[in-house]
Chains A and B, each alone.
Chain A
Amino acid sequence: MDFQAALGLGLPLGIGIAAIGSGIGLGLIGQGAMQAIGRQPEATDKIQLAMIIVAALAEALTIYAFVTMFLLSSKIGG
């Protein structure tokens, strides 16, 4: 397997795997936040803020994979 074939196989797979991970993470974050809001509806603002921050952190991992894909995808068709 040469370098380009490896990239062509690996980049989409990498994004997919990263997306699985951050999808699970986002699901857990959302679940926790929803439960917290259900228990304490008066703290909704605070919980939502924290949720968005943590969700951004979890989402960032997929974005890194995405950026890596874009940086390397120009090397495929060379």
Chain B
Amino acid sequence: MGAIAALMIATYSGPMPGLAAVLGIAWSLTNFALLQQLVVAITGTDRKSRPAVKRAAFAAAGMFLLFAIGGVLLVLLPPVWMLAGFLVPFAVLVLKAASVLLLESRAWQWMVASPWRAAVIVLSVVVAAWWVVPALIERPATAQEHASPHATQADTTPPVTEHDAAATTQHGSAPTTEHGAAPAGDHAAAEGKGHASEGPQKFANVITVLSRAFPNAEWAHFLHHYEAVIFSWLVGLLIILVAFIASRRPQMIPGKLQNLVETLVEGLYNFIAGIIGERHAARFVPFLGTLGIYIWCMNLFGLIPFMDSPTSSLNVTFALAIVVFLYAQWIGIRGLGLGGYIDHLMGQPRNLTGWLLVPLMLPIHILGELAKPISLSCRLFGNVFGEDMLLVAFVSLGVSTLAWSNLPIGLPLQLPFLVLALLTGTLQAMVFMVLSTIYILLMLPHEAHGHEGEAHHAH
């Protein structure tokens, strides 16, 4: 939660406040943990024992160190944001205590005794918030200088450079104005900011945030340029990590993670073996299954906030399709021999009509082979990218419906489409995998795989 809040802050008011908030939260949490250690060690039942004294000493030393670090950080980073971060755990504590008190009070029990009563009260609270919050937000916004009074309107958000400049200057002069200037509709603002650049905009992700924060830095440009590559590496590393952890100590009675991964791998194996035949399965399942899992994870990666689907870039999908294409051709050449491969491309002429048709068949087959990677990559790219665009469109629609209320909220119109995105992401990964399997299958020598497929499906 803290990390997400800090990312929000970093998006809208620059990297240093975000960093400060994160460090503030971390500092405060560490402080709590040490304090608890100290208190437990001093007042616990075994307070005279050696380890308790040692722990108390450690905690005290840690707190001194912590205060020193806090002082240094306070000098280095914007103090207001640091304080805000520092106060977050306290706020959580207070809210928790308040809710515990509230839950046991008589009034609360009276309120929840009837659902209608509760509904009426909730409604009245919501309506009250509706009236009160804009008034609270309006006041500081009008009181301060009119740097960007229309920033609250999602559609009139100024382009990226102006807005960032405004935000940083405002932050430098009076950090408290950030509260008033925080535009209604986070997502719409994030999109609106990017209108200066060309083409349709996707959701802001970590790298967009970074490159917006450091518009002049060389490395930020580099990151932004190779965004898809970085995210696909990230996905790959995650998969490697999970697979490594799951298979590090295989046990006869699998734990949760091992169970999950084994189910996935076995399901994929059976699925592919059902298409390609049991005989070839052991040879091709590692490649095809990895492809399927990788694409699946990449498709779903974009649904995580501040992440992006690498497959919504045509370069990534085209690279994957080229890999499949080359692999299928290689399988064909190796399985059939070079002569057999060319024979295959010529439509296997065995009589005069066949040889007469070669000038027609050869280009058709070659074009068909070349069309495969193009259709594979465009299909995946179009689906994932289209899904992203759909989500963006509906988020901005939901925000603009509530823009008149001046609240930083929007109708969650995108929720059904998130479910749809899960579905299409899974389905398209599967389609990519199945089609690659079929392309490879078509290149294999044509004896008897149909029979094996039958035998497999009989079970």
Contact = CB atoms under 8 A, between A and B. Distances in A.
Contacts of A73: 200
A63 B431 contact: no
A70 B200 contact: yes
A67 B374 CA distance: 12
A67 B427 CA distance: 19
A67 B379 CA distance: 9
Nearest to B381: A67
Given A59-B379, A74-B199, A74-B200, 20 more contacts: A49-B434, A52-B427, A52-B430, A52-B434, A53-B431, A53-B434, A53-B435, A56-B428, A56-B435, A60-B378, A60-B382, A63-B386, A64-B375, A66-B382, A67-B378, A67-B381, A67-B382, A70-B385, A70-B389, A73-B200
Interface of B: 198-200, 274-275, 375, 378-379, 381-383, 385-386, 389, 427-428, 430-431, 434-435, 438, 457
A74 B198 contact: yes
A60 B434 CA distance: 15
A66 B434 contact: no
Contact of A64 (B200, B382, B431, B435): B382
Interface of A: 45-46, 49, 52-53, 56, 59-60, 63-64, 66-67, 70, 73-74
A64 B375 CA distance: 8
- With most chain B CB atoms within 10 A of its CB, the pick from A63, A64, A66 is A63
Contacts of B200: 70, 73-74
A46 B457 contact: yes
Contacts of A70: 200, 385, 389
B379 to A, nearest CB: 5
Nearest to A63: B382
Give the 4 A-B CB pairs with smallest separation, nearest first: A63-B382, A56-B431, A60-B379, A67-B382
Contacts of A46: 457
Contacts of A67: 378, 381-382, 385
Nearest to B375: A60
A49 to B, nearest CB: 7
A69 B328 CA distance: 31
B435 A63 contact: no
A70 B198 CA distance: 12
Contacts of B274: 45, 49
Nearest to A77: B198
